[in-house]
Structure 1
Amino acid sequence: MMFRSLSADFLKIRRKGIWFLIFLAPIGLIAMQALNYGLRFDYLMKQYAKDPWGGLIENIMIFVPIALYLGCTLVSSLVANVEHQLSSWKQLLALPISRTAVFSAKFLLCFLLLCVSCILLTIGTIILGLCFGFGAADIPFDQVATMGFYPLLGALPLLALQLWLSLTFRNQSLPVSLGVTVSIVSPFTMNLSEWFPLNWPLFGFLGPHQIWFITAGAATGLAILLVGLIHFNRKDVD
């Protein structure tokens, strides 16, 4: 039943600009680093002479948490707004499908859309490195894939929270404002404890304890998702 709802949600987001956003984020990050390296190529190659691939990944990774937080915010809001704009909640929930399936399908949709962005970022990073002349035999596929997906697991709490808020409030100003604020503040939380939740996407990639942070992100995200699901099941719809 959830997968039937998921299929319907994929159809609903056509021509809604969501796919444009999914492609824009990774392409934007790659373009930013293409410009960065284009302007400072000799300096950066000298700085990362021992590990040019690692240097490229490090420069991209700095901006991944910000992009993820914005992605969680905008994708959740756009997915929820499909129902809000059409005022179709009553019709949707009157169908022979449980609220649990509806809520779970929308979360899975948001997660899969962000996974597409992560895949594009991984592919784009490899292509950019090859364009710069980095050795194809030296491509650190594990690091590139880790950069793409581990931070996403660390950001799951925000995704679950944003979807909950976006589905709850017809006016999207609160969830969007919260998400944008989190995105802006996140680079400045590095001075706080590594266990501060906004640091989990970054430390899910960096450091010797990656598994701790992605596990914390997945577990916390699941807990918030469960609370949001309980509230959604009890909530009256307009």
Structure 2
Amino acid sequence: MRLSADLLAFQTRIGHEFRKPDLLLRAVTHASIGSATRPDNQRQEFLGDRVLGLAMAEALLAADPSANEGQLAPRFNALVRKETCAEVARQVGLGDVLKLGRSEMLTGGRRKEALLGDAMEAVIAAVHQDAGFEVARAMVLRLWGDRVGRVEADARDAKTALQEWAQARAMPPPTYRETGRKGPDHQPIFTVQVVLASGENAEASAGSKRIAEQTAARDLLQRLEGGAGS
């Protein structure tokens, strides 16, 4: 089969030319448009998550031979979490080539954090299926770039970091509340607000409450720390 022009360009962005183009086509096909004759990327997501995990585990061990398990675990989690996968997906323009059903198109599926993260895992699996683990690992390390080297600063999740910021200033923990929800029941978009006792707050939207909370916490923390440094 021949790939469309946008998928050919996507191959260039990720640095891998597929010998079996159908693997890439499947990786960018969301369940909302999948069918018996058009398989979706859910099984590849499952595989890609494991390929990514092994690649990151090996990279972390190599980067810091003296680190113990307690130090490695949060670094690993920071590198493989959906938010990071979605960040890489945006970096390579994966959202632009996704094959989505009408409902997903209407609710901004190309920008959804969870959907992009899942699709990035599927692309990793597709490369693994097409050319083996070594090639897939090389692509992962190339796309993740200096994230492995600077992961110590990003290892704590944003909610934990914001709570520690508040505690260090004798403030109670931040509170989170859902302020909005839109989209169909099977694929909602949640809006969550985080508020500190001092009144500072931030709001974010995502395809899951957990991701929305993390994003809101990260945005607020960056604003607070930026203000502290100015």
Q: Which has the higher strand share?
A: 2
Q: Tell me if both proteins adopt one fold, taking TM over 0.5 as the criterion.
A: no
Structure with the bigger percentage of helix: 1
TM-score (norm 2): 0.31
- With normalisation by structure 1, the TM-score equals 0.30
Structure with higher RCO (Cα < 8 A, 6+ apart):
1
